[in-house]
Amino acid sequence: MNGVGGVSGGIGIPDIVALIVLVGGFLWMRRK
């Protein structure tokens, strides 16, 4: 469960989930 550039080459499921959470949170903050 490393971040970007972690083990086993590239982006895994945790990175995708983290990216969705970050983008979703950012858009949610922009709406308010």
Write phi, then psi, for 9 (nearest 5 degrees).
60, 95
Report the alpha-carbon distance of residue 6 to residue 14 in Å, rounded. Answer: 11
pLDDT at 2: 52
pLDDT at 7: 55
Going by pLDDT thresholds of 50, 70 and 90, the confidence category of residue 18 is confident
pLDDT in tens, 2-13: 555 555 566 677
9 versus 30: the higher-pLDDT residue is 30
pLDDT at 28: 94
pLDDT at 15: 77
Report the alpha-carbon distance of residue 30 to residue 12 in Å, rounded. Answer: 27
The CB-side HSE value for 29 (13 A sphere, CA atoms) comes to: 6
